[in-house]
């Protein structure tokens, strides 16, 4: 379709652009829809970067056998190109190089400013990829700098802890195996030397036979931890192994036979051994950060583990069951800061999803639980993160930002803290691109997160603040698809639609938000937004008014 482009000679030759309008049918968008760029479909002025997008579509199709965007009609297909974010090509074919997925993703950026800018740059990327893949890498050599790397960790490779197998023959002991893996994830995260994938994403593999290389590619990691637990009476045998997915080799393995009361000491030994094998000699100060007080009561710890999967089913019934378990846990161990933090989290979800008849009282209790958790253990990253979540929801933005920062200082691999921090940064007038990068890091750390809708909640607002309305609308629509009863998804869509001049769409989205929240008003929305920078508040309020929110 390159022959359809018409060169427009501007007064300044450097300003020349390509446009689909020409003598054939002025103002009409021409081309084959599956390979069109978002700006071409929207009828905006074009330049050479529209061809970079089309090239990305071709590359995706060559790599996977299918196009990145689909629809049963031209209208649906055009909407998908404007809205959808295609999965990385490595999701379809795990044997493809991670750099290929990155190149294709950058070609398919919705905003031309964020694509690879020239065909020469694409060629250079492929030359470097060819050079890397043609070189044999010795088994003991370190990974390429971007193998399993996650932004914000200096290019260091990531690690994922898979659910431990329960070999006890007793389904009631399943929580025990889950708890070991969950606590190991937490302890490894505190080392700060490498990114650790969140529990919510690794536990999707629970009970499944896994292919190490496929799982590593899916999660974007270099290293995997696998293990098993066999509990009999008052003794437990824990087997753990660290695997380099790039080579398939076992980096480290160990077996621990312990009295049941020593289980927390075993977790410390495992996390220390894995960290040592990854990063060499560990500083004593780092180890001091990684140490945290174990629960005083093993039964309380078990109740906590049973509650965790219930929290993220996001139903009123499961929330109530989780609350009962956590309340029992905190009654048995009154110093169990992490359980108190999760109680606070439940209160925030109850408030957000209107699962409570006393919303303000529920939110106040959540803040109180979170403050108490931090008082009990200021080094508990989960407590700091849930305090930030509760304070942000209650409208205490400055204090929430500080708590989120403390959580990330303690555990930089914590998606909930990244979500709050990213949202509050752009709402306080900091560059929204910084927030977008933070959320992209969170998505890499937890690619299968059951609270995935929160990623797009922050992304849609950050894109709106950045003036990247096509991407903002796409993120808002993804949010609506993930959580159709969450009225903010429709409001983010409405404000981004205003930015694109699509006022009818914006007002339709506001009507959907009012269906969920009949009392919707501009004052209520601005209070909920909690914008702490005048220019941000003005930008959002103006967009809401144009969308019909008074």
**What pLDDT is recorded for position 277?**
59
**What pLDDT is recorded for position 6?**
52
**What pLDDT is recorded for position 152?**
64
For residue 526, CA distances in Å to 44, 272, 336, 363 come to 32, 47, 36, 18
3-state secondary structure 214-240: HHHHHHCCCEEEEEEEEEECCEEEEEE
- Cα separation, 375 vs 392, in Å, equals 19
**What pLDDT is recorded for position 274?**
67
Q: Rounded to 5 degrees, what are φ and ψ at 238? A: -115, 125
- Cα separation, 331 vs 303, in Å, equals 11
Contact 532, 398 (CB under 8 A): yes
User: Chain centroid to CA 419: how far?
Assistant: 8
In order, the DSSP letters of 73-133 are SHHHHHHHHHH--PPPHHHH-TTS-HHHHHHHHHHT-SSGGGS---HHHHHHHHHHHHHHH
Q: What are the tens digits of pLDDT across the range 304-340?
A: 989 988 998 888 999 999 999 999 999 999 999 999 9
Q: Which of the residues in the chain have pLDDT under 50?
A: 1-3, 10-28, 135-147, 280-291
Q: What 8-state DSSP symbol labels residue 391?
A: H
Q: What are the tens digits of pLDDT across the range 426-442?
A: 998 889 999 999 999 99
* Residues making up the chain, counted from first to last: 550
Q: Which residues contact 62 (CB under 8 A, 6 or more apart)?
A: none
Burial class (CB in 10 A: 0-12, 13-18, 19+), 264: middle
Q: pTM for the full model?
A: 0.61
**Strand, coil or helix: what is 315?**
coil
Taking alpha carbons only, the member of 292, 295, 326, 328 closest to residue 309 is 326
Structure tokens at 540: 């959002």
**What pLDDT is recorded for position 496?**
96
Structure tokens at 102: 């990155």
Return left, alpha or beta for 211; rule: phi > 0 is left, psi -120 to 50 is alpha, else beta: beta
- Cα separation, 300 vs 384, in Å, equals 21
């Amino acid at each position: 379709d390159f022959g359809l482009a018409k060169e427009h000679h501007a007064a300044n030759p450097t300003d020349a652009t390509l446009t689909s309008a020409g003598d054939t049918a002025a103002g009409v968008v021409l081309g084959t829809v599956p390979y069109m760029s978002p700006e071409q479909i929207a009828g905006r002025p074009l330049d050479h970067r529209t061809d970079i997008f089309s090239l990305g579509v071709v590359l995706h199709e060559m790599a996977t056998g299918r196009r990145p965007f689909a629809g049963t009609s031209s209208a649906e297909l055009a909407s998908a190109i404007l809205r959808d974010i295609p999965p990385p090509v490595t999701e379809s074919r795990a044997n493809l190089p991670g750099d290929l997925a990155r190149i294709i993703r950058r070609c398919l950026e919705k905003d031309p400013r964020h694509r690879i800018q020239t065909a020469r740059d694409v060629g250079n990327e492929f030359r470097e990829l060819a050079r890397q893949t043609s070189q044999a890498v010795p088994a003991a050599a370190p990974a390429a700098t971007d193998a399993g790397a996650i932004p914000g960790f200096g290019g260091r490779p990531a690690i994922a802890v898979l659910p431990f197998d329960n070999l006890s023959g007793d389904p009631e002991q399943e929580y025990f195996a889950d708890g070991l893996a969950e606590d190991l994830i937490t302890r490894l995260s505190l080392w700060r030397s490498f990114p650790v994938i969140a529990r919510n994403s690794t536990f999707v593999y629970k009970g499944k036979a896994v292919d190490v290389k496929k799982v590593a590619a899916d999660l974007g990691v270099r290293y995997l931890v696998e293990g098993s637990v066999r509990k009999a009476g008052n003794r437990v045998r824990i087997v753990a192994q660290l695997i380099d997915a790039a080579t398939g080799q076992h980096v480290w393995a160990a077996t621990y036979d312990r009295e049941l009361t020593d289980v927390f000491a075993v977790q410390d030994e495992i996390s220390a051994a894995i960290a040592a094998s990854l990063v060499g000699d560990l500083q004593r100060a780092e180890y001091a950060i990684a140490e945290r007080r174990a629960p005083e009561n093993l039964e309380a710890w078990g109740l906590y583990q049973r509650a965790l999967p219930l929290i993220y089913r996001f139903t009123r019934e499961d929330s109530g069951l989780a609350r009962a378990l956590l309340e029992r846990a905190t009654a048995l161990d009154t110093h169990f800061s992490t359980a108190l933090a999760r109680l606070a989290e439940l209160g925030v979800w109850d408030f957000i999803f209107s699962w409570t008849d006393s919303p303000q009282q529920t939110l106040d209790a959540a803040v109180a639980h979170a403050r108490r958790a931090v008082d009990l253990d200021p080094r508990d990253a989960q407590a700091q993160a849930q305090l930030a979540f509760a304070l942000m929801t209650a409208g205490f933005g400055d204090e929430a930002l500080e708590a989120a920062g403390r959580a990330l200082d303690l555990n930089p691999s914590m998606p909930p803290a990244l979500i709050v921090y990213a949202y509050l940064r752009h709402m306080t007038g900091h560059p929204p691109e910084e927030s977008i990068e933070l959320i992209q890091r969170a998505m890499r750390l937890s690619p299968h997160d059951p609270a995935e809708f929160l990623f797009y909640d922050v992304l849609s607002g950050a894109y709106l603040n950045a003036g990247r309305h096509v991407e903002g609308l796409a993120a808002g629509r993804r949010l609506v698809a993930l959580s159709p009863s969450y009225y903010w998804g429709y409001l983010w869509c409405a404000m981004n639609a205003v930015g694109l001049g699509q006022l009818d769409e914006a007002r339709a989205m506001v009507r959907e938000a009012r269906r969920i929240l009949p009392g919707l008003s501009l004052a209520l929305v601005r209070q909920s937004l909690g914008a702490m920078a005048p220019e941000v508040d003005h930008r959002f309020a103006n967009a809401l008014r144009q969308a019909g929110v008074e």
